Amino acid sequence: MSNGREEQAGTDIIAGDKPEEACGIFGVVAPGRDVSRLAFFSLFALQHRGQESAGIAVADNGYLTAIKDMGLVSQVFKEETLRSLSGQAAIGHVRYSTTGSTRWANAQPVCYDRHGQTLALGHNGNLVNTAEIREQMGALGARFTSTSDSELLAAMIANSPARDIRDAVAESIPRIRGAFSVVLLNQGTVVGFRDPWGIRPLCVGRLDDGNYALASESCGLDIIGAEFLQDIEPGQVAVITEGNLELIQAVEPAPRQGFCIFEYIYFARPDSVIHGKTVSATRIRMGEELAREYGVEADMVIPIPDTGTPAAIGFARASGIPYGEGLIKNRYIGRTFIQPDQSLRQHGIRVKLNPLAELIRGKSLVVVDDSIVRGNTTHKIVRMLFEAGAAEVHLRISSPPITHPCFYGIDTATSTELIAAEKSVAEIRRHVGATSLEYISLEGLQRAVDMPATRFCRACFTGNYPVEVPDELKMSKHRFEQVEQEAVG
């Protein structure tokens, strides 16, 4: 895929080997509060869900102002910027692109005219009937300034003949297929809604002044002092006005639910609560299951930080092997556009991770991580551990092999990007250079999550997609750029 990662493959020393999430979203109505600041800090807590761009839209007595740009939340918004964003309601968005390229026009919130008023919208997920919606909206005279599917959502709701925003959203949802957790801002009202399959997360909380806020994860509520109330249910619409929360079941939940199980494995922050379960505790159970399924004699269990840490703790607890921190992460590196010189490139992954050679020298290690997507970074880490003196490196992965691409908001658009789609576990072990390699079983993962498999989308492991995916969607996340170029040509 040409999303910038391939273009930097030879030079980006912090390029990861993880699936990439789509977005984080937030919305609040709180007259008398500094709503842009609330949005800033919530997005700061949700930064792990997207690091390409950030944006905040604020409604102030009927006027809407939106500021968005490429970069991290702290890079886009400074103190003077937040002071200029006064109002009574706000929504916010952090983005990782899964439909549409990495450019300013695709940053969110998306703004669109609705009956002479401005509507702002932020979206987490991917639609699968984009071609159909684009054709319908084009026939109505809609014009698009971006190449993301999120602008299609805004155009559909904006072009609804319904005067009340509740009705416009409710009548639009049945026409949309795919993954969508959405917040929108219209005339001081914030509306949040989820698709009938419940693929992407969204929850609601109450501030101490009696007002309400929405966020992709509960950690986005915790940081602003909001009390977590509940997850927004699949097919449900949450309408927030001053001091009021209205929940409307716009469409019935789909018979087969499809919450992304990777939220528990990797995407969600460990301190978030989803379906009443703390993510960290679930990841610890994954490590325990992994130890029961694929135990090994070793001297120490170490994680690949940070996302492998809870599972490593669980593996150590269940196996009785001591836990240690054999890899130290540079927690300030973030994402950088500064390319290293040749000598730095040769150090590769050490810019991000550095081994504690004194601790691991001569030891047999169990190295726990949450997933392997492409395998290149894992190979570098294994080699680095051996170079630091490790006697054995036994890799244990707390997700099953990722064998199928995701079309619902994770940036794995083709099977050729997935090492487990092309190689057996034995072949992957040889590729990464580990002494041994084992993945948790799908059954073990389900035991750790402790909910029925029918609640989840597990298509990345099984190829069984809850929402049918048209062939044109499988082409590329840049399909709208292709359409745009053909139109110009």
Query: Cα–Cα–Cα angle for 390, 391, 392, nearest 5°?
Result: 95
Query: CB-side exposure of 348: number of CA atoms within 13 Å?
Result: 15
Yes or no: say if 221 and 42 are a contact pair by the CB < 8 Å rule: yes
Residues whose CB is less than 8 angstroms from the CB of residue 178 and which lie 6 or more positions away in sequence, other chains included: 125, 126, 127, 128, 129, 149, 195, 199, 407, 408, 467
Yes or no: say if 46 and 24 are a contact pair by the CB < 8 Å rule: yes
DSSP 223-267: TTTPEEEEEPPTTEEEEEETTEEEEEE-SPPPSS--EETHIIIII
Q: If 0-12 CB within 10 Å is exposed, 13-18 middle and 19+ buried, where does residue 452 land?
A: exposed
CA dist., res. 463 & res. 406, Å (int): 9
Q: Which of 23, 111, 219, 260 is an active site residue? A: 23
CA dist., res. 403 & res. 390, Å (int): 30
Write the DSSP symbol of residue 178: B
Q: Under DSSP, is residue 462 helix (H, G, I), strand (E, B) or coil?
A: helix
Orientation angle between helical segments 165-172 and 149-158, nearest 10 degrees: 130
Query: CB-side exposure of 258: number of CA atoms within 13 Å?
Result: 29
Residue 23 a catalytic site member: yes
Letter for the amino acid at 436? S
Residues carrying an active site annotation: 23
